[in-house]
Amino acid sequence: MRSGGRGIRFVVVTSNPGKAREFEDLFSRYGLSFRVEPIKTPEIQAMDLRLIAEESALYAYDVLREPVMVEDAGLFIDALGGFPGPFSSYAYKTIGIRGILKLMEGVEDRRARFTSVIAFYTPMIGSVKTFAGEVEGYISYEPRGSGGFGFDPIFIPAEGDGRTFAELSMEEKNRFSHRARAARKFAEWISSIEAISPAYE
């Protein structure tokens, strides 16, 4: 999958087809030049999404030797002390949506947030650059919707109309999701580099 023609050419590294589709939709609006590689990066055990994303970007660069962009995201539930947070992928694979809802049985405080951290690396910039995005919301009482992926069926964004992420179209979700907010920051930054340094072209 390839798109665009502006700025630094880079590789979006993700083995999640849902993420790949969202990034293609978001980055196509900026005319960025990129392709998607379904490489699975090892996730270090850490409480900080930023650190996990940074390490994943460095690993991906070692494999591809090209400018790379990776993203790590987590669902943080207030009543569960921020769980599953940086362990969201593992929690989804092990206890799944039903497991989270089981933990939330009888809990009135349904507040939660999705956080996304994008990490970009190429030796030309010297260090890993990160961009974060967040969206506040609530955990639903039952799964709703067939779109999206991961915990989307139980997350109701506070800025929405009461539907879960999984009930929104990708275009609707990309208006204000955590991933969209991080992606827009990254896209605006990398678009500006072309004008600053021709060496990146």
CATH of the domain at 187: 3.90.950.10
Contacting residues for 134 by C-beta, under 8 A, at least 6 apart? 113, 114, 115, 116, 178, 181
Number of domains in the chain: 1
Task: Give the confidence band of 113 by pLDDT, cuts at 50, 70, 90.
Answer: very high
- Asked if 37 and 70 count as a contact pair (C-beta separation under 8 A), the reply is no
Enter the pTM of the model. Answer: 0.90
pLDDT greater than 50 at residue 42: yes
Least confident of 4-8, 68-72, 157-161, 182-186: 4-8
pLDDT greater than 70 at residue 7: no
Task: Give the confidence band of 6 by pLDDT, cuts at 50, 70, 90.
Answer: low
Range of the domain at 182: 2-200
pLDDT greater than 50 at residue 150: yes
**Three-state secondary structure call for residue 116:** strand
Q: End-to-end distance of the chain based on CA atoms, in angstroms?
A: 20
Catalytic annotation, residues: 72
